[in-house]
Amino acid sequence: MNDQQAGPPAEPTEPAPPVLRLTGVNKSFGPVHVLHDVDLAVRPGEVTALVGDNGAGKSTLVKCIAGIHPVDGGSIHFDGKPVRITSPRDAADLGIEVVYQDLALADNLDIVQNMFLGRERTRGGLLDETDMERAARDTLASLSVRTVASVRTPVSALSGGQRQTVAIAKAVLWNSRVVLLDEPTAALGVAQTRQVLDLVRRLAERGLGVVLISHNMNDVFEVADRIATLYLGRLVAELPTRDTTHAQVVELITAGRSGDLGLPRAENPAP
- Which residues contact ligand ATP by CB under 6 A? 29, 32, 34, 52, 54-60, 101
The length of the chain, given as a count of residues: 271
149 near another protein, judged by CB under 8 A: yes
Q: Which residue(s) pair with 26 in the sheet?
A: 73
| Binding piece for Mg ion, criterion CB under 5 A, among 27-35, 39-47, 99-107, 234-242 | 99-107
Nearer to ligand ATP, 115 or 253 (CB): 253
- Please give the full DSSP string across 157-200, using - where no structure is assigned: GS-HHHHHHHHHHHHHHTT-SEEEEESTTTT--HHHHHHHHHHH
Within 83-112, which residues bind another protein (CB under 8 A)? 87-89, 92, 98, 100, 102-109
Within 153-192, which residues bind another protein (CB under 8 A)? 154, 156-157, 191
String of contacts with another protein for each residue 55-74, x by CB under 8 A? -----------x-x------
β-bridge pairing 73-78 and 20-29: antiparallel
How far out from the chain centre does Cα 173 lie?
Answer: 15
5 near another protein, judged by CB under 8 A: yes
Interface residue with another protein, options 37, 39, 79, 129 (CB under 8 A): 129
What separation in angstroms does the CA of 110 have from each of 96, 129, 133, 156, 171? 23, 12, 10, 8, 16
| Binding piece for another protein, criterion CB under 8 A, among 36-44, 147-155, 172-180, 203-211 | 147-155
Count Cβ atoms within 10 A of the Cβ of residue 200 and give its class: 0-12 exposed, 13-18 middle, 19 or more buried.
buried
| Binding piece for Mg ion, criterion CB under 5 A, among 52-60, 121-129, 162-170, 256-264 | 52-60
Let me know: does 111 contact 148? Beta carbons within 8 Å: yes
Q: Which residue(s) pair with 123 in the sheet?
A: 126
Contacting residues toward another protein, per CB under 8 A: 1-6, 66, 68, 87-89, 92, 98, 100, 102-109, 113, 117-120, 122, 125-127, 129-130, 133-134, 137-138, 140-142, 144-152, 154, 156-157, 191, 195, 198
